Chain A
Amino acid sequence: MSFVYLEDGARFEGASCGAAVAAVGEVVFNTGMSGYQESVSDPSYARQLLTFTYPHIGNYGVSTRAMESERAWARGAIMRSACDREDAPSAERGWLEWLTDCGVCAITDVDTRALVMHVRDAGAMRGGIFPADIAPDAAASVVAAEPEMAGQDLAREVTPARVSRHGDGDGPLIAVVDTGIKSSMVRELVRRGVRLELHPCTATAAELTAADPDAVFLANGPGDPAALDYVVDTVRELVGQRPILGICLGHQLLCRAVGLETFKLPFGHRGANHPVRDLATGRIEITSQNHGFAALGPSGERTIAGDEPVRWETDFGAAELTHVNLYDRTVEGLRLLDVPAATVQYHPEAGPGPHDSLYLFDRFLEIIATAR
């Protein structure tokens, strides 16, 4: 027996089913119906307790191909009906066994819908998964001790210690600021003949450009972009020098680098069904989403009213809106008009999720090609 405790005092009973440790972090929820292993191994979930809205988790086990990094990053998994199944055709191991080995605290038999409705209404907040014998006030103080997500630099926690290279051939060379890049992002780029150089997020502009890359790519990652000024400064040095492309946290970092503001969403976007409009074609993509922060609109607004490619005045000239979320009208992507730079907030690489947006990687490569 164990329970989920939220900083506002809400409590949800369940049965522990992962590593026998207590875990604290930001409690968030993902509405996807498959892809549990991809999510837990996605560095962007670092320091978070991930609630799965789909009740059955673990049905098809776990396998190497579904890893989005070398390890599990979420601190905890909150589920309605978890199962451990290693005999699934594509499975190498059972889900719960794997979570346990990865040291991920997990709880099942939780009324996840009640928990999700609570977070939806009260906003994402800190919480913990505790054994039943922990007293509420004890739980409360542990949760209170956990720092708020806003203001957190988590990139340092997930970034690699040293540079690594991927892909070969004579395709474009891209320097990546690895704030926690997902394997499927690497895969999609390498598949397109790109050579990647993954740098620690603390790399300087000089280090990033040492090998004379054709472009700089800003990866996804955990935490608050506002806490990453050192990365933002580095990026600012590079804007105009090299084409800059970014996804998710990378998108937020570029925005801040050119002088735009980001803000924390009430409970974020996490799932595989958000409609996003590509303003260039008018087409709608069903997207994979995983972010808690977003960029503000041209006049500081949190949502974009129309479907026009509205413009920002940035420190590097005009920026134009390229993608908008049709669920809550938030900014999903933009590009700079005077220098080669384009980013999106959502996850074109999927992993998990729909493949509607894979074309964006080709668009990125075109930008690099034209800049060459």
Chain B
Amino acid sequence: MPRRDDIEKILIVGSGPIVIGQAAEFDYSGVQACKVLREEGYEVVLVNSNPATIMTDPEFADSTYIEPLLPGPVRQVIERERPDALLGTLGGQTALNLAKALHDDGTLAEFGVSLIGADYDAIACAEDRELFRAAMDGAGLRMPRSAIATSLHAARDALGELGLPCVVRPAYTLGGRGGGIAYTDEQFERIVAQGLEVSPIGQVLLDESVIGWGEFELEVMRDRADNVVIVCSIENVDPMGVHTGDSVTVAPQQTLPDHLYQRLRDQAIAVIRAVGVETGGSNVQFAVNPDSEEVLVIEMNPRVSRSSALASKATGFPIAKIAARLAVGYRLDEIDNDITGVTPASFEPTIDYVVVKWPRFAFEKFPGADPTLTTHMKSVGEAMSIGRTFGQAFAKALRSRELDRAAAAAPLPDEELLERLRTPSVDRYEMLLELLARGTAIEAVHEATSIDPWFLRELAAIARDPGSPFAGARSFRSVDTCAAEFPAQTPYYYSGWERRKASEVRRGAKESVVILGSGPNRIGQGIEFDYCCVHAAMTVRDSGREAVMINCNPETVSTDYDTSDRLYFEPLTLDDVLAVIEHEAELGPFAGVIVQFGGQTPLKLAAGLQRAGVPLLGTSVGAIDLAEDRGRFGALLDSLGYSAPPYAVAASVRDALASADAVGYPLLVRPSYVLGGRAMEIVYSPEGLADYLEREGAAGGEIYLDRFLEDATEVDVDALCDGQDVWIGGIMQHVEEAGVHSGDSACVLPPHSLGEEMLEQIRGATREIALAIGVVGLINVQYAIRAGRLYVIEANPRASRTVPFVSKAVGVPLAKLACRVMLGEPLAALDLPGGREGLGHGDHVSVKEAVLPFDRFEGSDALLGPEMRSTGEVMGIARDFPAAFAKAQAAAGTPLPTRGTAFISVTDDDKAGAFAIAQILHDSGFRILATRGTAHTISRMGVPVEPLNKIGEGSPHVVDWIERGDVDIIVNTPTGVGARADGREIRRAAVAHRIPCLTTLAAGVSAARAIARAGLDGEGEVLCLQRLHDDGDRTAVE
């Protein structure tokens, strides 16, 4: 069955913003699909709201729409582009749900769009627990006993059958969101209620618990001729009960005897056939009782997934790429395995190494959140490592995590630790290794954790001697899909330790450039940096050099073997990186290493690399230090005549209290090891500071104190500098005021209210600062404007989080240009667009909005602050600011209402502003509710408003209203000091019910304006990126 000629135009739907449970893996799969389908001569239309993705780069599709992933906008795209088919299996749950919705509302039928990959029935069968169970019964496969409930009452009845503990899972949610394991009746009631709430179809599945059984996943592929292969088996070291996304996992499976593994294989094949996924990849999850050898099917995902990305990187078998070819008619045996070049894709990869995946968590950012691991995924990213043995892979994975602070087990007696191990938690492996190091019996640890003793024995060896896996010499091996049965054509390498040094690395004669990636996704360092690294690789290749990528994040495009000339899947530690660089240099000409694109991770290695004599391309280590050392940077600003907020660097807690008065309150405090605003707080008084030092000072190290600028407007600038000239890429005005981390605040480009004079000041300052630091490449400068005065907050001499957003907003590939500068080209040679940066490029406005994971961390306050908490971002592009803002809100998952009820409650300082908001909303036909104080101000100004009880004032109070669903939009600014209780409850309720909740006046005003502007709900006219930038043809800057 060759390529389908009955379709010409294919619509690919992305997965939207990075959220817990849906990360960069869908950019990786989407990019592969785009490449393949265009190679095959199809016209590709892409929709995705996430600007930080490679797939939304104009060159990856024929028409790209950065629009909210909602039926409305996507329908518009379909109406406009008239695709023949929709490929919905590569954009995660989001794309799958969207495909389903567009079928249900008749859009697909109306425009004659066919679903390829998985058809409607298959999607429905896999996603609807009831249909799925029926299909499994039909295939003679067993699942945990279960019941489906659409009401709390029905759930209670079912519990009689199943008993506690009971696993509660909402239908159609991502990563188990809103689910959990109930051990007690109280927990049961709570979890079921919240499950019914978050499930888009108000349905929860109640499962008999098989906690402690082994958990296994198989990645299956099927073609139209019904040929089926298993790409990879994955074993969860953490048994059933810990979400696969939060489990440490190993490929291939290690503990099943062949007959049992073959049973899983047979069942996985039966599952994909029963569900009826015609072509493509699916992920099937099993629970296995190691003693009775019972096998239960847990679930199947009829699409590429986080696990399929992992399986692809683990085996070298590019699942998404092949799934895309299968979707357009090819058979597995008609597709080449490009790793060997000589064998077809209709085979099962076999590997001669071990792969370990470690989840990356971010609990430290969500005080109050429950750090135990359960059926509801909580990790924000992952690192993968490859070794010749499990020990090597596990130890490499440990160092790939890049924890901000070295993790260590609490110094507790064995019994205590064992007791804690019974409940899986983030630090379980630290405790486990500590116990094993103390010589605790394997049986005891197994009894507490149910982890297979084979793993525990391997871990015990590491615990006793961390160096043990690394006996011998580091050898570079290739990932070849076939355990060396055939020579590998693809340069995808890892290091393993053998008795004698060996290397399979083959390289050309061109000089090589090493690009350091950004490691596991985490809050503060996400996909944006991988985006930049990929652009660097493309640019290095275009420049006639060989691009060498080092990274350890399996989700990303940067770790796709055809992104660079050579990929080394390695941890980003100085040792591991130096080993690769030395090897590269040993084998051929080596130009140097690029540390500017991978965020803080490579930047932290810069000094060490220089000490080792490795040439750094671009900004020098000295310059980096000049920008990052607060003292030196402060002096530099003085010399240039720019002011920073008053600050002090305190060596000790006592010292901090002393210097605080000199700086002046309110203060922004943070420990010096801070990353992404980690542990940053605003304190308003010596008491507040003392309290902070109590909590954070303990960690030791210097403490930074800055005068906190209240009511200041924050501005972000990304610019290019070659040491002589500076080109401003974009100036972004934040919607939220300074004090909300730049990564968490919405921002607009071009700035909508700064005024030409201020913009000119900002340009001037950016130029002088970049030149004074001596930047060669990219620089990001953050400013705060208060009372018409410009303050410099910080300068980052590297690619920033906003580079992809700016590049897409202005149609200039900043990262690529920066890379060319770093490779020696002067700015003058880049024929950059003249005129004013980020302005005048078409008559459109771009808004970036952050996406926050509060809904996954019950108990933590859904409040924005100087510590970054967002996992991802979306972009809204429109003809004017309100429309773009509305699009961004919709894309972020909280569309603004067009009518209904608004609740307003603000601090005294904000009262005047609150009136303006009330006025606009009232004029747009909203009913206005407010807490007494706020209501008073508003009504005094003549706007009708109804006062509401605060929680303290008794029911029915504001939270009751929200819970009842009687509020459609909330403006709630935190009352300065302490006592945030009320606000906290309000925001929690808003998050739980997905009601837009604007926590700053500025954002409130923007929202009100957007609503007023023809009642925009984010479904304004859709815009095609390619056409947007056609004027001046800037996308051609390559």
Contact = CB atoms under 8 A, between A and B. Distances in A.
Interface of A: 13, 31-35, 38, 53-56, 59-60, 63, 65-66, 80-81, 83, 85, 87-90, 109, 111-114, 116-117, 120, 271-275, 277, 282-284, 286, 326-327, 350-355
A261 B454 CA distance: 48
A354 B352 contact: no
B227 A113 contact: no
A53 B259 contact: no
B229 A286 contact: yes
A34 B351 CA distance: 11
A284 B485 contact: no
B226 interface: yes
B853 to A, nearest CB: 37
11 contacts: A34-B258, A54-B351, A55-B389, A56-B254, A88-B454, A113-B477, A273-B348, A275-B333, A284-B332, A286-B348, A326-B333
A284 B333 contact: yes
Given A111-B500, A326-B347, A327-B343, A117 B484 contact: yes
A111 B254 contact: no
B255 A88 contact: yes
A65 B457 CA distance: 25
Nearest to A66: B257
Nearest to A32: B350
Nearest to A87: B453
A85 B454 contact: yes
Contacts of B230: 286
B256 A60 contact: yes
Contact of A31 (B257, B343, B354, B483): B483
Contact of B483 (A54, A66, A88): A54
A123 B870 CA distance: 56
B388 interface: yes
Contacts of A31: 350, 352, 482-483, 485
A284 B227 contact: yes
B266 A355 contact: yes
Given A66-B258, A326-B347, 18 more contacts: A31-B482, A54-B350, A54-B352, A55-B352, A60-B256, A80-B389, A81-B389, A90-B260, A111-B502, A113-B388, A120-B486, A271-B483, A273-B347, A275-B229, A275-B333, A275-B344, A275-B347, A277-B333
Contacts of B226: 283
B296 to A, nearest CB: 16
Given A90-B257, A284-B332, A354-B262, A53 B350 contact: yes
Contacts of B454: 59-60, 83, 85, 88
B499 A13 contact: yes
Contacts of B261: 34
Q: Is the interface of B mostly helix, strand, loop or mixed?
A: loop
Contacts of A80: 352, 388-389
A273 B350 contact: yes
A256 B354 CA distance: 43
List 7 tightest A-B contacts by C-beta distance, closest first.
Answer: A35-B258, A53-B483, A352-B258, A89-B290, A273-B348, A34-B258, A31-B483
Contact of A66 (B252, B259, B389, B475): B259
A83 B255 CA distance: 12
Interface of B: 225-227, 229-230, 252-262, 265-266, 290-291, 293, 332-333, 343-344, 346-354, 388-390, 453-454, 457, 475, 477, 482-487, 498-500, 502
Among A59, A80, A109, A283, which residue has the most Cβ atoms of chain B within 10 A?
Answer: A59
A352 B350 CA distance: 14
B255 A59 contact: yes
Given A34-B261, A53-B352, A116 B346 contact: no
Contacts, number: 146
Given A60-B257, A109-B499, A286 B347 contact: yes
A354 B226 CA distance: 16
A122 B500 CA distance: 20
A346 to B, nearest CB: 13
A271 B498 CA distance: 24
Nearest to B266: A355
A219 B272 CA distance: 34
A89 B353 CA distance: 24
A355 B293 CA distance: 18
Given A81-B389, A109-B499, A59 B254 contact: yes
Contacts of B499: 13, 109, 111
B484 A53 contact: yes
B258 A284 contact: no
B908 to A, nearest CB: 66
Contacts of B262: 350, 352-355
B345 to A, nearest CB: 9
B283 to A, nearest CB: 19
Contacts of A85: 453-454, 457
Contacts of B352: 31, 53-55, 80, 112-113, 116
B346 A326 contact: yes
A272 B485 CA distance: 12
A231 to B, nearest CB: 30
Nearest to B500: A111
Contacts of B500: 111, 114
A53 B480 CA distance: 13
B259 A65 contact: yes
Contacts of A88: 255, 453-454
A304 to B, nearest CB: 14
B388 A114 contact: no
B947 to A, nearest CB: 66
Contacts of A114: 498, 500, 502
B838 to A, nearest CB: 52
B351 to A, nearest CB: 7
A103 B453 CA distance: 28
A197 to B, nearest CB: 27
A87 B343 CA distance: 40
B343 A326 contact: yes
A33 B258 CA distance: 9
Nearest to A80: B388
Nearest to B214: A89
Contacts of A116: 352, 483-485
Given A31-B483, A273-B350, A326-B343, A283 B260 contact: no
Nearest to A14: B499
Given A56-B390, A59-B255, A66-B258, A33 B351 contact: yes
A33 B333 CA distance: 23
Nearest to B332: A284
A113 B454 CA distance: 23
B254 A89 contact: no
A89 B254 CA distance: 13
A63 B259 CA distance: 11
A351 B257 CA distance: 11
A120 B485 contact: yes
A354 B254 contact: no
A39 to B, nearest CB: 10
Contacts of A89: 290-291, 293
Contact of B258 (A38, A271, A275, A286): A38
Given A59-B454, A66-B257, A354 B265 contact: yes
Contacts of A59: 254-255, 454
Among B225, B389, B457, B483, which residue has the most Cβ atoms of chain A within 10 A?
Answer: B483
Given A66-B257, A80-B388, A283-B225, A33 B344 contact: no
